[in-house]
A and B are shown apart, each in its own frame.
Chain A
Amino acid sequence: MPALPLRYAYFPGCVAQGACRELYQSTAAVTAALGIELLELKKAACCGSGTYKEDSQLLEDTVNARNIALAETLNLPLLTHCSTCQGVIGHVDERLKAAQEDDPAYLEQVNQFLTQEGCSPYRGTSEVKHLLWVLVGDYGLEALRARVVRSLSGLRCGAFYGCYLLRPLSTLPYDDPVAPQSLESVIEAVGATAVDYPGRTQCCGWPISSYATETSFKMAGKHLQSAIAAGMDCLVTPCPLCHLNLESRQPEIEKVIGTSLNLPVLHLPQLVGLALGLDPAVLGLERHVVSLQPVLAKLRLAAA
């Protein structure tokens, strides 16, 4: 375990407070079990998931500079548990840190908007980290391995990263965006088996699901079918938006592609929580559209 207690300013995001409440629950349970302290940013706002930028780059930068400044006020790194929040807020942080050198006038403009509305200015003193990176880097894989009390042996898991955890950022702390391994390394550290399959770094289709529904479902369907063909028991994702498309919409995807799927999809902290011996109900495992019964049966656990 790390020498000092790990503390983060926690950015919950929209989906974990809405349609994926089980992610909020399982992040809380897992961090508590590992002794990681979270101070929830109650005044934070939606990162925009890439949509603000289509309105204007200034809007994306300003709203997220405010989010980051909330963490800076606490002198803590900002923790996300969503690939999309990580990619958007992390990229804004990269851009504004670069602006301190290259384009101070732009940063000044962003900060003028913030101070005008009574918000703290962005100072560039924090970091934006996904829960996955906290487990790999700050907590450490060895320390995590030492905390495993329930065997996940033989559970075949496929990693599904989410675009924004890989590609918007110019530098990733532990991964090559073309051949990432951090999620697989956590899957292995908690005793499950990471299985490769095509599609793990591709788009789940969520961003266009409200209007190009069939195309979106074909994208998700192809990745789910590849995972099933690789003999997967479940997918594991650090992105609740991917979870919504791959999991909650699976019955509709089945209709579009004309094949039965039934592949459970776990949120990252749910998998870690199972290994830490947490109760499936505490991890919200019953709050899934695709039943986790086959996964629980394989682990010889009673239904949640």
Chain B
Amino acid sequence: MQVTFNILRQQPQGSPYAQHYGLEVEAGETILDCLNRIKWEQDGSLTFRKNCRNTICGSCAMRINGRSTLACKENVSQEVARFGTQAADGTPQITIAPLGNLPVVRDLVVDMAQFWDDLEAVDPYVSTQGRAVPEREFLQTPEERSRLDQMGNCILCGACYSECNSKAFNPDFLGPHALAKANRLVTDTRDTQTEARIEQYNSLDGVWGCTRCYQCNAVCPMEVAPLDQISKIKHELLARHDKTSSRPIRHRKVLVDLVKAGGWVDERKFGIYVVGNYFQDVKGLLSVMPLGFRMLARGKFPLMFEPSEGTAEVRSLITAVQAYQQAQDSPQEPDSV
């Protein structure tokens, strides 16, 4: 079949421009096969990273038809069937662009320095004490080891980083790849820095910077589910801190408290409790006052709150689940000998 590749190209210090390449392809050819053929048969100047051709090395991540993925993982017929876009001449069109959130070096090659720096910031190695070679091996049960599998599958391709909404607006955010790796180390029984690590991510550039937009989970080619890993670190932090410790933590705790109190979230109280810290944070309170007045002026401010008729049931349900979860989280009593 005849396919048009619409590739976003860029020279160093130049502006991006689109270039079209027509190619006669087999339906099952991967996008990477096609890029190689364009480079070898039509235009040797087209620049992209590639290596294993087998979704293992993570080199060929790029934006294909609007999302970040591996060029060696996607094939022509699936792209055409899924997106159905056409070039001006009526042939099926596949659009290719470099990863986002990273500066372009040339064409589809991006400068990944910041990506590696962000990874390095989480100290992505089992802690020093764990690295010291003891007299016998570090023992880990198969079950303990299996808890690392999902995060361990990361091939550091950069697809999640490219689509991350938080990274796009907060350059200091650690990023989904680094936080997924962080949870791999927090979960590792051989690591001796667990508590210090968990605290390291207790910030707006750490786990609380994530907007939960699900982009990282959606594009990860290895099903690492970075958002789920970030949630697990948040869970550890929520178990260790009360609602006076910070606004992001208060945000979570107040939401659950308000559901227990009324089934639904009473948004008036939510604002005062979370941002105003129960009337203690005057600056915080003042910061939401203009919003309150604006909403009052437009008849938008909720003057009443009607609790759910199921409030008592829900409160009791949440309390039961939380008590069970707390028992699960607390350290097990050693078996009596």
Which chain A residues border B301 with CB–CB below 8 Å? 19
**Judging by beta carbons under 8 Å apart, are B317 and A119 in contact?**
yes
- With A19-B301, A19-B302, A208-B208 known as contacts, the answer to whether A46 contacts B324 (CB < 8 A) is no
Within 8 A of A (CB), among B247-296: 247-248, 251-252, 255-256, 258-259, 263-268, 271, 274-275, 287, 290-291, 294-295
**In the assembled complex, how far is the CB of residue A31 from the closest CB belonging to chain B, in whole angstroms?**
20
Q: Roughly how many angstroms separate A172 CA and B234 CA in the complex, as a whole number? A: 28
**Which of A's residues lie within 8 Å of B, judged by CB?**
13-15, 17-22, 42-46, 48-56, 58-59, 62-63, 66, 70, 87, 113-114, 116-119, 163-164, 166-168, 176-179, 202-203, 205, 207-208, 210-213, 215-216, 218-219, 222, 248-249, 251-252, 286-289
Write the chain B residue with the least CB distance to A43: B310
- With A18-B266, A54-B234 known as contacts, the answer to whether A178 contacts B65 (CB < 8 A) is yes
**Judging by beta carbons under 8 Å apart, are A207 and B295 in contact?**
no
List the one stretch of B1-9, B46-54, B153-161, B210-218 in contact with chain A.
Answer: B210-218
**In the assembled complex, how far is the CB of residue B330 from the closest CB belonging to chain A, in whole angstroms?**
13
List the one stretch of B10-18, B31-39, B139-147, B164-172 in contact with chain A.
Answer: B164-172
**In the assembled complex, how far is the CB of residue A64 from the closest CB belonging to chain B, in whole angstroms?**
11
Interface residue? B204 (CB, 8 A):
yes
Write the chain B residue with the least CB distance to A66: B317
**Judging by beta carbons under 8 Å apart, are A44 and B308 in contact?**
yes
A63 contacts which of B234, B275, B314 (Cβ < 8 Å)?
A: B314
Interface string of B199-239 (1 = CB under 8 A from A): 00000100011111111011000000000000100110010
Which chain B residues border A18 with CB–CB below 8 Å? 264-268, 302, 305
Q: Roughly how many angstroms separate A116 CA and B317 CA in the complex, as a whole number? A: 8
Interface residue? B306 (CB, 8 A):
yes
A203 contacts which of B165, B263, B275 (Cβ < 8 Å)?
A: B165
Give 22 CB contacts A-B under 8 Å. Answer: A18-B267, A19-B295, A43-B308, A46-B263, A51-B251, A54-B238, A163-B214, A163-B215, A167-B217, A168-B214, A205-B165, A207-B211, A207-B212, A208-B209, A210-B275, A212-B208, A216-B211, A251-B294, A286-B298, A288-B298, A289-B294, A289-B298
- With A59-B321, A63-B317 known as contacts, the answer to whether A248 contacts B214 (CB < 8 A) is no
Q: Roughly how many angstroms separate A202 CA and B214 CA in the complex, as a whole number? A: 10
Interface string of B294-337 (1 = CB under 8 A from A): 11001111100110111101101110111011000000000000
Write the chain A residue with the least CB distance to B325: A56
Which chain A residues border B116 with CB–CB below 8 Å? none
**Judging by beta carbons under 8 Å apart, are A62 and B321 in contact?**
yes
Interface residue? B130 (CB, 8 A):
no
Interface residue? B83 (CB, 8 A):
yes
Interface residue? B66 (CB, 8 A):
yes
Which chain A residues border B291 with CB–CB below 8 Å? 248-249, 252
**Judging by beta carbons under 8 Å apart, are A21 and B320 in contact?**
no
Interface residue? B67 (CB, 8 A):
yes
Which chain A residues border B252 with CB–CB below 8 Å? 51, 54-55
**Judging by beta carbons under 8 Å apart, are B259 and A48 in contact?**
yes
B251 contacts which of A210, A218, A249 (Cβ < 8 Å)?
A: A210
Interface residue? B136 (CB, 8 A):
no
Write the chain A residue with the least CB distance to B234: A54
Which chain A residues border B264 with CB–CB below 8 Å? 13-14, 17-18, 45-46
Which chain B residues border A62 with CB–CB below 8 Å? 317, 321
Which chain B residues border A17 with CB–CB below 8 Å? 264, 302, 306
Residue picked from A46, A50, A63, most chain B C-beta under 10 Å? A46
